[in-house]
Structure 1
């Protein structure tokens, strides 16, 4: 017996119809997009990063509800919550497609010199004939899309990032002092929904995942990166100045609210129990 597999784009495996563009634009404070231009893509990315935090609190609490767009809508658009890469990119990719952009969903290996899995979801988006690496879900990392071009350098909120290509393998690097630190590597093979379900399962449950054992909340704005990792809040400026503060359980609610994450009383109590 033979089976027929539908090519990417022929079925609604991404549940695009559940994408609430109006609610998304309201949450991010972005005006409606008249045409899928490069300028609009840039402003959409910045509005998203400014409005919706990166956070893994549901993973830490062992109660992540999944990465379907309907679930993500309720969390990221219906509450003052954020998510990690799959949630951000599932939402953003659907929004972009409904606004008329061509989107390819990809997956990257973070710190590719280490023997870790491909777990990071990102997008390549076509606008006005140019492909752009578009990644609003890499924590306190990227504020703007980057032309998918070997050697392209883009300032990301005050930190330069560079793309390099070698025989079909792309790397994204960040300038740290006089050096370039490789953040992740990827190819341009478009992925299916099940690939992210598998990666999400590993990332949200495996004991070696960096997200299962500690809170990670990140915010990025021009010139300032803020990161709550475990019980340490780090504020980094573009001049290299860094301050780190220990956060107590009593300070947790105010700290999270300052990062744009508002928990219910029950969620806050459960998270404090892990502190």
Structure 2
């Protein structure tokens, strides 16, 4: 794998030694260049916990990826660049009251200049820049406002919405290996509680908003001056989907996509106490 080709893929001009400025640029450029997507699974392909496969897909084939692919590739790049990175497992808020998914989402924490920074380039509505692990840390990023908070040795990432705060996920600082997520990678491709299984999607942040393809819809979300959002939805025919993926996300699929847009089921309660 060629680090320079990865940097070209995300629009970063040169190799820089570890610094907060360089880390912020890498994180942002990856997010705006590599779509968060589940399209492979809905084209009859498997998603693998293999950084070399993710590199071939994202860098050489100019595709996007799910959390394992994008964060796995970002982990490799940061390590190659000399950053001190630790892998953790987050539980995604299922939006069913009181229920979190299994500890399946890969998040990265970079130790830099005596502080810890949460990095996550593999979540559709998450942070835009690294955010420090500091209790009650509130930060505006690209128009969105995020909050880091700690409760009983668990860290929570919240996002501001019109009626308050919405939790995105939670995690502990138990260190994991990237290889530990093989079972969870399979889970997301077979569980009716997983968005990867239930929806064919592709998403990218745009200035003060986001553009997302799901099933037979294209959704544009724009932030308003008052902190609210305006969503515009366009219904798509199957013939229009390849054109939308190419024009909005730079993705050209080599296999036929089977659009899917089903609601996930509540996660298994056994995972709530992981």
Match of 1:34 among 2, 16, 36: 16
Aligned partners of 1:28 and 1:52 also within 8 Å? yes
- 2:270 is matched with which residue? none
* Correspondence for 2:148: 163
1:189 — aligned with what?
174
Alignment of 1:18-167 (within 5 A): 18=1, 20-111=2-93, 113-167=98-152
1:129-171: CA deviations, max 9, x gaps? 2110011111143210001100111222211010000121010
Count of residue pairs the alignment pairs up: 254
Structure 1 runs not aligned, ≥5 long: 1-17
TM-score (norm 2): 0.87
2:216–2:259 CA contact under 8 A, matched in 1: no
Contact 1:82 1:261 in 2 (8 A): no
Query: Does residue 230 of structure 2 align to residue 241 of structure 1?
Result: yes
Aligned residues of 2:139 and 2:147 also touching (Cα < 8 A): yes
Counterparts of 1:74 and 1:200, CA distance in 2: 18
1:254 to 243, 255, 271: 243
Q: CA deviation at 1:183?
A: 0.5
**Aligned alpha-carbon RMSD (Å):** 1.7
Counterpart CA distance in 1 for 2:188 and 2:172 is 20
Moved more, 205-214 or 175-184: 205-214
Q: 2:9 touches 2:62 (CA, 8 Å); kept in 1?
A: no
Please state how far the C-alpha of 1:215 moved relative to its aligned partner: 0.7
Residue 128 of structure 1: how far off its partner (Å): 1.9
* SS at 1:271 equivalent: coil
Q: Extract unaligned runs of 5+ from structure 2.
A: 262-274
TM-score by length of 1: 0.87
Q: Give the corresponding residue for 2:213.
A: 228
